[in-house]
Amino acid sequence: MSRFELRAERARQGDENDVPRRTASVRVNIKSRVAIAPILITLGTVAVAALLAWAMWDAYMAAPWTRDGTVRVYVITTAPEVAGRIVKLPVADNHFVHKGDELFEIDPRDYRIALERAQAQAQRDTAALDYAHANQRRQATLAKEGWASTQNYQQTTSTLNQAEAVVALDKAAIDKAQLDLDRTVVRSPVNGYVTNLLAQLGDYATVGQKIISVVDADSFWIDGYFEETSLGRIHEGDAATVKLMGYSEVVRGHVGSIARGINVPNAQADQAGLASVNPIFTWVRLAQRLPVRINIDQVPDGIRLAAGMTATVQIDSQPKASKR
């Protein structure tokens, strides 16, 4: 065998001997990677869990929140100021009405007759006043010329004053009759929704009796009842997020005000005027809840607000010193 062939044979044998060593090295590397993978997965899971735990702590502990929230609204009750039978009822239950829209009308015939009677009485009294003026002027002339006594002049002057007073009363009667006639038509004082409509066409309406209630559509707010331990972190103007039961979208608002008091049962006095103090003291002291008024800033499309709805309220509280 030549020198070159001998070298080639040795190189071939060397390559064959390196194959097992390289294979063993690859296996070691694979085993090392397999052993490190669970550690990395575990560390990543712990990190994600820690972030989620921190986020939940910040959401539920750092930021004041409550599931005890209620949608509130002002309700305007309309009652007639004159009595009569309802002859018009153009509204329906739960329908929207604008401010000034007619809600119902009471039979105006009696009140129209009363107005006409007052106007006719005023015309008669006005004629009497004109005669009293003329008579008083005539008596004044006669008294000046010496043809009439002072007593007659004073009597005609008194008659004139009485006629003037009667005409003034007639004017007041006309105004009252006109006002009563105008009050036969009852209009909505606000933009809102007719609710719980029980009145029917033909019902007799009495003065002061509630006929129709209108939910003021421009007055919605939310009361969140927060534990007293959270009130120190709530300030007027703080941003608020409201989640209504049944809706996935959130309502945006801000803290409008915080209630200054709630009912205290121990403050009630007995018959002698003394405070009735409960002698029982439980081991567990529950924090009182106070109303926090949330003014609504933005309501997503599709959310229909209704008084009494349940709400979860979260306050984005900021340090008081940082507020402007």
> What does the pLDDT look like over 250-302, one tens digit per residue?
999 999 999 998 887 777 777 888 877 777 767 777 888 999 999 999 999 99
The residues of the chain that CATH labels 2.40.30.170 are 65-74+218-322
Which CATH number is 75-216 given?
A: 2.40.50.100
Cα distance between residue 312 and residue 314, in whole Å: 7
1.10.150.120, 3.40.50.300, 3.40.50.9100, 2.40.30.170: CATH of 65-74+218-322: 2.40.30.170
pLDDT digit string (tens) for 83-112? 999 999 999 999 999 999 999 999 999 999
Give the H/E segment covering residue 133. Answer: helix 109-145
Pinpoint the residues of the chain covered by CATH 2.40.50.100.
75-216
Q: How far apart are the first and last CA of the chain?
A: 98
How far from 74 is each of 140, 179, 218, CA to CA, in Å? 65, 28, 9
pLDDT digits (tens, 9 = 90+) for 220-236: 999 999 999 989 999 99
